[in-house]
Amino acid sequence: MIIMVNLLTINTAIGQHKKFTNDMLNHPGKYGKKFERLFNLNELQVYDTAYTKGKVVLNNGYAHSRILNPEDWPAYRKNIVVTQIDVVYTKYPRNKEFWRTNYYSLLAKRVKALFALDSTLNSADFEWNIKYQTSCKTEEETKKMFHGICIHYFEINDFESEEDVTNIPESKEEDMPDLSLKVENYIRSQGGIGDSMVYSTFANHPEWKNALVVMDWTGSMYRYGAQAILWHTMNYKNSGIKNFVFFNDGDGIDDDKKIIGETGGVYFAQARHMDRLIKTFYLVGKKGKGGDDPENDIEALIRGMNRFEDFDELILIADNNSCIRDFRLIANLGVKVNIIACGTKYGLNPQYVNLAYLTGGSIHSMKEEINHLSQKVSDNELKLKQLKYELNKEQLFIIKDPPQRVRYSQCEQYSTLTPLKIDPHLEFIEKHGGVGDSTVYVVLDRHPAWTNTSIIMDWTKDMYTQSAQAVLWHKMHPRTSGINHFIFSNDGNRLADKKKKVGKTGGIYFTKSNNQKMINRRCNYVAKRGNNEDHNSTNTIETSLRAIQKYYKTDEFILIVNNETCVRDFSLIPYLDTPIKVILSNIQGPINPQYINIAYKSGGSLHTMDDDYYNYVFTGVASSTNELKINGTTYEINKEGFFDYKDFQLKKQNNCKLSIKT
């Protein structure tokens, strides 16, 4: 028999949890199946004991328990991380009831022999397997096969020297079944999956793409965080997870030495390098298990954001029953945080409610999913399925009922908040001359109830500072902004006018609203790709149709346009069957009737610095003999059913097409 260990050797000084009790090892017959259930059971023809770096084979011999070559396992060293132990039997006879040697007794003796060699291996922090070799039909064949202990490990120094992963090959989809099994075995070693909260949440949100996942990797949270890795391996081809961050609250340092923002114990791994990712979570567990109850959640989020700046979704897998020690650092985030709260039997910890509320993020628990918390607040109260919360003097949520508040009262000492001082400037706007016409900001401020919105922006040179006001407004209102996506259009990049075809002009770019740094970079990137300088028409409807197609779950589409620019692809307006809210900027004369018609025909509305014109106004005029008057200019319905200037001179001067005829 062979026992193979691919395990993280845990330093007892940092709180090792033993896998096997002395009573179980001394009385294996008493525990029987319970003893066996501490292992993962697998069958294979022949167990591979060939030498490779990071593997030690310890022989017992057939039906014996003494380790014959103990010198091959080096003395415990802090720089070794063991990752798995496999106990390998020859399955002959096929029925264990007919084995000459008592199965449970032999297993216990061999495990005890291993612990006599190295007591640190008695740990629940790694994977334990029993492997049955089946390629034996006689006792003579069985005796020739290996029986013993094989330990797999890696050197921390070797692992850390691979910090530059550019030359490490990416994991392949065909490798995922074996890797998934490895993660499943690890979860079983931590007591089983328990509730599938984390796995189910990722399964329910396939739209989470380009995601950065930050995980509490302290003792009680191992099996929850590992579910995210398991989901990633099981859905590798379509997984939106790009990077992982693990935090263990300080690498085992003394609690009184943990400094806010500098606690440490934060580790990083790319989701495309699965072997390294799995080694990372073993390493993090070896380095520390958390110590006291509060954790350094916000520090881990900030460090993760700084390490992996290119992300669209920031997801925190958190221990709902632990406090956030560095809660005051929330002001440094500036990113929506989607929180998967684990252990919510008695309701959500107010600190995590506040983290989602203050960042405009979401909370996901076994009982419910909550998005846009600010919209659910009424009379300074928030009612969730399990508990009611109220805003205190600091405008932070606390549990309303005092007796229920006791459960999370220990977290109140950490729930002080450095005031959210948001820089009221946007570098892109300043670089391009500052805010002149503030229509966009004013209109968005006037309509805080617009939620689940996608902002479609004319991103040509004359509109930079106007359209960018939507980005600035979103930045200034992290709690209440309902903006989920930004769509930039520079009208075809640098495509020559004669090559711009209706519906095929391009120059359209998309980004989620979650990461302000990503939005800022997108602003500059799209501007560099093209600016439509000295041109007076844009592919407005093509851009709108592309946005509607991509973000079909959006409730509100908002189009920011230049009143002095024509809609080149106006002929596409019959395809615009989703309401568009048009924000008109740069109004220097009468309102361009093309934009009135986009609002009218789509079932949307029109918004200027001072006024809002809703669709019932347009439809009411169109269905009667009345005329539409806006800012002193009169409009009438033409033969094709579009609003046009009534004044002949304005019609004559208008170069913007109001027909769908070719």
211 - beta bridge partners? 241, 313
Summarize pLDDT for 388-414 with one digit per residue, the tens.
999 998 899 999 999 999 999 999 999
* Residue 530 CB partners (closer than 8 Å, separation 6+): 490, 491, 492, 493, 494, 495, 507
- Whether 651 and 586 have beta carbons less than 8 Å apart is answered as no
Mind listing the pLDDT tens digit for each residue in 457-467?
Answer: 999 999 999 99
Specify the range with the lowest mean pLDDT, choosing from 317-321, 347-351, 411-415, 601-605.
411-415
Quick check: 14 pLDDT over 50?
no
Tokens standing for residue 530: 């093209």
Mean pLDDT of the chain: 90
The pLDDT of residue 193 is 83
Strand, helix or coil for residue 297 = helix
Predicted local confidence at residue 638, as pLDDT: 93
For the stretch 270-282, what's the b/e string if a residue is b when 16 or more beta carbons lie within 10 angstroms of its beta carbon? bbbbbebbbbbbb
Can you give the pTM of this predicted structure? Answer: 0.84
Q: What is the pLDDT of residue 581?
A: 98
**CA torsion, points 166, 172, 178, 182, in degrees to nearest 10?**
30
What pLDDT, on the 0 to 100 scale, is given for residue 188? 85
CA distance 358 to 330: 8
- Residue 4: what pLDDT? 42
Q: What is the mean pLDDT of residues 477-485?
A: 93
What the block records as the tokens of 39 is 């292992």
In the chain, what's the furthest Cα-to-Cα distance? 107
Average pLDDT over residues 362-380: 92
Mean pLDDT on 526-535: 85
pLDDT at 220: 85
Asked whether 73 and 117 are in contact (CB, 8 A), the reply is yes
Q: DSSP assignment, residue 569?
A: T
Domain architecture of the chain: domains with CATH: 2-158 (no CATH), 167-375 (3.40.50), 427-653 (3.40.50)
The neighbour count for residue 521, using CB atoms within 10 Å, is 15
Residue 579 confidence (pLDDT): 98
**By three-state DSSP, how is residue 13 classified?**
helix
The percentage of the chain sitting over the pLDDT mark of 90, rounded to a whole number, equals 67
Can you give the pLDDT at residue 6?
A: 40
Return d(Cα 162, Cα 395) in angstroms, integer. 46
Q: Are 586 and 562 in contact (CB under 8 A)?
A: yes
Q: What does the pLDDT look like over 284-294, one tens digit per residue?
A: 988 887 766 79
Q: Which two tokens stand for residue 541?
A: 């409807």
Q: Which residue has the tokens 């309303």?
A: 400
* Res. 8: pLDDT tops 60: no
Query: Residue 163 — φ and ψ, nearest 5°?
Result: -55, -35
The DSSP secondary-structure symbol of 100 reads S
Per-residue pLDDT band at 112 (split at 50, 70, 90) = very high
Cβ contact 87:129 at 8 Å:
yes
Catalogue the E-assigned strands of 445-596: 453-458, 483-489, 508-512, 537-538, 556-562, 566-567, 580-585
The type of residue at 360 is G
Beta-carbon-side half-sphere exposure of residue 552 (alpha carbons within 13 Å): 3
Percent of the chain with pLDDT over 70: 94
Rounded average pLDDT over 575-594: 96
What pLDDT, on the 0 to 100 scale, is given for residue 125? 80
Q: How confident is the model at residue 100 (pLDDT cuts 50, 70, 90)?
A: low
Mean pLDDT score, 30-42: 89
- Is pLDDT larger for residue 545 or for residue 372? 545
Higher pLDDT, 74 or 22: 22
Confirm if 586 and 593 have CB atoms less than 8 A apart: no
Position 443 pLDDT exceeds 60: yes
What's the pLDDT tens digit per position in 152-169? 888 887 777 665 556 677
State how far the Cα of 8 lies from the Cα of 245, in Å rounded to an integer: 19
What sign for the dihedral angle of Cα 447, 544, 453, 360? negative
What DSSP string runs through 598-656? HHHHHT-EEE-SS-EE-HHHHHHHHTSS--EEETTEEEEE-TTS-EEESSHHHHHH--S
